[in-house]
């Protein structure tokens, strides 16, 4: 048996307390509601609760770590195109998708924004923005890309906070003025020039 497969003393304590709590609940349901739970069900529930608690703690550690990581936009390695994406939700039933592609010196090689009708959850529209930006990048002929987003549920191997994703965020908001899909190749809207230049300056320092 592997050493790390044995629960730690602290975890044992959590399991014991969870079992005791489960037994107490089982007793109350039996006495006051006439419901009898099998002991195996109580044990399974106790183990599941401890497992869920440990998983939540691990997720919290990952989220906390992301808060202290690099928050400024950084240029990708030579030969790689960095794709930033973001979304904006406009009341009452419109959303905006924004995407920006930049090379290793920070030059914009493509930009896009799209306004869509409909009501979506934040996580869903962020995923739509990421997919939209990636599709535009691929259609523009960029094969080697890295993705960057400020949504924790999408980031996985990509970790960046909002200040490192400002240009895509501004493109997403800019889409409110667009009646159809907009794509710029090797240029970008004048409205986002300030944040593009700010990223380039921070990346070179």
pLDDT digits (tens, 9 = 90+) for 94-137: 899 999 999 999 999 999 999 998 888 888 888 888 889 988 99
pLDDT digits (tens, 9 = 90+) for 60-93: 555 554 444 456 788 999 999 999 998 998 877 8
Prediction pTM value = 0.51
Answer for the pair 173, 97: CB distance below 8 angstroms, yes or no.
Answer: no
Q: What is the mean pLDDT of residues 167-188?
A: 84
Residue 125: name the closest of 185, 184, 172, 76 by CA: 172
Domain ranges of the chain: 3-67, 81-203
Mean pLDDT (the chain, rounded): 77
Q: Classify domain 81-203 by CATH architecture.
A: 2-Layer Sandwich (3.30)
Q: What is the mean pLDDT of residues 55-61?
A: 61
Q: Strand 145-148 and strand 108-117: pairing?
A: unpaired
Q: For 39-68, give the DSSP string.
A: HHHHHHHHHHHHHHHHHHHHHHHHHHHHHT
pLDDT at residue number 37: 73
């Amino acid at each position: 048996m592997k050493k790390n497969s044995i629960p730690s003393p602290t975890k044992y304590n959590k399991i014991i307390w969870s079992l005791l709590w489960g037994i107490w609940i089982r007793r109350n349901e039996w006495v006051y509601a006439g419901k009898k739970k099998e002991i195996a069900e109580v044990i399974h529930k106790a183990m599941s609760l401890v497992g869920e608690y440990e998983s939540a703690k691990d997720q919290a550690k990952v989220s906390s770590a992301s808060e202290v990581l690099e928050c400024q936009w950084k240029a990708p390695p030579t030969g790689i195109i960095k794709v930033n994406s973001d979304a904006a939700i406009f009341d009452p039933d419109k959303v905006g998708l924004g995407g920006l592609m930049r090379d290793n010196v920070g030059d914009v090689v493509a930009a896009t924004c799209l306004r869509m009708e409909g009501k979506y959850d934040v996580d869903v529209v962020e995923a739509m923005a990421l997919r939209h930006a990636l599709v535009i990048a691929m259609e523009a002929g960029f094969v080697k890309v890295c993705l960057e987003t400020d949504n924790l549920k999408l980031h996985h191997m990509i970790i960046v906070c909002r200040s490192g994703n400002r240009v895509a965020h501004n493109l997403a908001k800019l889409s409110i003025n667009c009646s159809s899909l907009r794509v710029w190749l090797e240029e970008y809207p004048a409205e986002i020039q300030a944040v593009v230049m700010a990223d380039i300056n921070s990346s070179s320092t």
